[in-house]
Structure 1
């Protein structure tokens, strides 16, 4: 299946319809077609993605998105804000761009994703916020915009899904205006994946087995939902193609033609605790945990993120942190 041909970039009204429930046969076919896997998995997750990852479009996530931007982009660049026209690559539900627009980083923007379901949700989220955005279903290795179109290109947790990351970065540089900047955040590091993924897997197995015990059935999700989550997890293992060292992303960005390239990393202990927490939340019935749990989980992450930024960043090697961010500029 050639996704680039069958899912060619188009206006939203002409985009393929989302497929929210992949069959076992489709999952099996996706094992041999990474781009099909991307579409199936992200269409599957689209409608519940914000809830799954505790994404919001209020002050909490507006501040978080702006903090990522500020941690990656040099202070001297802040004088340029806001950028006039921005693009989010692999937009998901629109988390990064929509919150950056609300944070004053950009005035308006466009969203693209290989998943029709994600583009649909991102546009809907933008409309609900009253923001000026448009969207297209598009392959990140072939961005459907002209040269020199955008002042800023952003992405969050997208590069590790793209088969040819360097080709995608060349496309990013192409669609940027001279002097325009890109920033990609939320990419897993080589070291971080070695502790985050096993912690998540152990948590899932522990919760789904413990909740089989007498008296704990109220904490167990219906078996049909657990089976569907297992199929989604099988797809997730396929769509996560890469992990990176900071040096990897710097090298690929320079090879793609960018200058003023730099990286930053975030989340060390915050990831070690955050992944089990998020997995536990996904393993129990929706609404079972309540507001008190949500407040505890968020405050724990905030506290550990502060510890990571102010203590561990001084003694722990950069590459040991879970998330890496990269930024660069198109030569002017």
Structure 2
């Protein structure tokens, strides 16, 4: 399969107006607009740093023993970050990608080709996955469930396309508590950064704020593409209702999220390239140290307090 729809990187005013009341259209238009710069925006790479990150999330969710899965599907693939890095880590031998956004599917397939990985893909709705029953050994996704209108329906589809005994893993999903403090920290950081950089000596640190035009009006849809946050126990129950077995939700990033979200917001408030390599190393190593602290805190604090939820489960064997 291959992507068979053209992306819409520059949405019309009429399309954007309609998308405010249509979450699937909003996700298509917003992510088509984002596809060309998404990896840069989120510091996504396909080297050791992100390979280790993806494999670490998979291991945290599943206790993976190092044996590869045969054929894996990434649902809501974006640019392929999760699956492609998992494949490089040896988690899966062959891959397929789907996303509502044609632009993202194209980006994922380009990245796979550049890396020499055996991956095909198609534009698809997560609630109606266009593959036969019992197709995949593994289904994965990263930061996708919170964009899907009917998450339980999507999980039922995931179980349908998994082989009996196959596993699913979704990572990077915001908890309800975590999303509240992350958004608050981001708002405060944005307000402080954009206020301080109005001062004369610091104006060179202010990113120009331009009006949305026909090339970027889909950016406004960022406000409506995130549909859900999750309580870990409720997410487990939802997967159980969908028919999954061995369901487990773990969470991570408390202090790391309290650093990470202000850092990303500040980076968005200043001109690209202004902060330099030392800043990048501070942000990365700071995240690593606080993640180690959070691993210890996770043994004593409620899992609902942490920002990232990771869910894993299996399809019942016949």
- TM-score bucket of the superposed structures, by smaller chain: over 0.9
- 1:232 and 1:70 map into 2 onto residues whose CA distance is 36
Deviation of the 1:233 alpha carbon: 5.9
Report the equivalent of 1:26: 15
User: Is contact 2:69-2:92 (8 Å) kept?
Assistant: yes
- Asked whether 1:323 is paired with 2:308, we answer yes
Report the equivalent of 2:195: 209
Judged with a 3 Å threshold, the aligned counterparts in structure 2 of structure 1 residues 225 and 109 are, in CA distance, closer, same or farther, namely: farther
- 1:121-173 CA-to-partner distances (Å, cap 9, x unmatched) read 11111111110001111000000100000000000000000000000000000
Q: CA RMSD in A?
A: 1.9
Deviation of the 1:176 alpha carbon: 0.3
Deviation of the 1:243 alpha carbon: 0.4
User: Is contact 2:112-2:118 (8 Å) kept?
Assistant: yes
- How do 1:76-115 and structure 2 match up within 5 A? 78=65, 81-115=67-101
Report the equivalent of 1:70: 59
Deviation of the 1:34 alpha carbon: 0.6
Judged with a 3 Å threshold, the aligned counterparts in structure 2 of structure 1 residues 306 and 227 are, in CA distance, closer, same or farther, namely: farther
- 1:272-313 CA-to-partner distances (Å, cap 9, x unmatched) read 110010111112111111111111110111111111012x11
Partner secondary structure for residue 309 of structure 2 = strand
Deviation of the 1:230 alpha carbon: 9.6
- 2:34 and 2:275 map into 1 onto residues whose CA distance is 21
- How do 1:169-188 and structure 2 match up within 5 A? 169-188=155-174
User: Please, what TM-score do these two structures have when normalized by structure 1?
Assistant: 0.91
Greater Cα shift, 164-173 or 313-322: 313-322
- How do 1:1-332 and structure 2 match up within 5 A? 11-12=2-3, 14-15=4-5, 17-74=6-63, 78=65, 81-224=67-210, 234-310=220-296, 312-332=297-317
Judged with a 3 Å threshold, the aligned counterparts in structure 2 of structure 1 residues 89 and 297 are, in CA distance, closer, same or farther, namely: same
- 2:77 and 2:32 map into 1 onto residues whose CA distance is 12
Partner secondary structure for residue 241 of structure 1 = coil
Judged with a 3 Å threshold, the aligned counterparts in structure 2 of structure 1 residues 230 and 118 are, in CA distance, closer, same or farther, namely: closer
- 2:219 and 2:180 map into 1 onto residues whose CA distance is 17
Judged with a 3 Å threshold, the aligned counterparts in structure 2 of structure 1 residues 192 and 107 are, in CA distance, closer, same or farther, namely: same
- 1:298 and 1:24 map into 2 onto residues whose CA distance is 38
Partner secondary structure for residue 11 of structure 1 = coil
Report the equivalent of 1:4: none
Partner secondary structure for residue 239 of structure 1 = coil
Partner secondary structure for residue 152 of structure 2 = helix
Deviation of the 1:327 alpha carbon: 0.6
Deviation of the 1:25 alpha carbon: 4.5
- 1:156 and 1:32 map into 2 onto residues whose CA distance is 25
User: Is contact 2:52-2:89 (8 Å) kept?
Assistant: yes
Deviation of the 1:231 alpha carbon: 5.7
User: Please, what TM-score do these two structures have when normalized by structure 2?
Assistant: 0.95
Higher helix share: 1
Deviation of the 1:217 alpha carbon: 2.4
Partner secondary structure for residue 35 of structure 2 = helix
State the aligned residue count. Answer: 317
- 1:24 and 1:330 map into 2 onto residues whose CA distance is 43
- 1:243 and 1:229 map into 2 onto residues whose CA distance is 30
- 2:310 and 2:284 map into 1 onto residues whose CA distance is 22
